[in-house]
Amino acid sequence: MTVTNKQIQELRQATGAGLMDCKSALTEAKADMDKAVEILRLKGLAGLEKRAGRVAKEGIIEAYIHANNKIGVMVEVNCETDFVARNDKFKEFAHDIALQIAASAPLYVNEEDVPSEVLSKEKKIYKEQAKAEGKPDKVLDKIVEGKVKKYYEEVVLLNQSYVKNPDITILDYLGSFAGSIGENIRISRFVRLELGNA
């Protein structure tokens, strides 16, 4: 089956991956767009894991103030080289992450940042809720596991759906972007201020 330029462009817009990556993913997926997205996501995450060991000590701090001047965000995004840190695409990525934080108000960058006492408390609440709803003991752990996953999707930046493309998570976006740049890209930390919320 022939892959058209229109399909390649469509996939590129949906994922932000490079042209050749999109073409090979569509070819591998026999022009099935959903399958091609999945292939790119898997490659992006695999590439992200490979690059994760490399030191990312360059980067920028991006600041964003929402139009109403009531929400402000500062985020540190790291890369391996100063050359990439000065790149417009890198700056755009950092800006997108700041927008995400402003819009979705995460509390942590990744799952490992969630304090164990916070997680224990959440699990206890979910278990009590399930018991109160009369759920059998044998399914309690499964229910708690599902609710913890949902909790992570709400409060962990990398697990959140990307506001500009809800079909992917911020981790997917990070993997795709890091793949296109060819460096280890890391979102290190952020601060989000909302007027009146101390």
Domain of 144, CATH number, reads: 1.10.286.20
The tally of domains found in the chain comes to 3
Are residues 129 and 163 located together in one domain of the fold? Answer: no
Mean pLDDT of 101-123: 93
Are residues 89 and 167 located together in one domain of the fold? Answer: yes
Are residues 16 and 93 located together in one domain of the fold? Answer: no
CB 17 within 8 A of CB 41: no
Position 51 scores a pLDDT of 47
Q: Is residue 17 scored above 90 in pLDDT?
A: no
Are residues 100 and 12 located together in one domain of the fold? Answer: no
Angle at 54 between CA 106 and CA 89, to 5 degrees: 60
Of 34-38, 154-158, 159-163, the range with the lowest mean pLDDT is: 34-38
Q: Could you tell me the CATH number of the domain that includes residue 88?
A: 3.30.479.20
Q: Cα(192)–Cα(187) distance, rounded to whole angstroms?
A: 14
Are residues 11 and 41 located together in one domain of the fold? Answer: yes
Are residues 101 and 180 located together in one domain of the fold? Answer: yes
Structure tokens at 150: 């949902």
Expressed as residue numbers, the domain containing 19 is: 5-51
DSSP 67: T
Are residues 9 and 47 located together in one domain of the fold? Answer: yes
Q: Cα(107)–Cα(197) distance, rounded to whole angstroms?
A: 14
Mean pLDDT of 159-181: 91
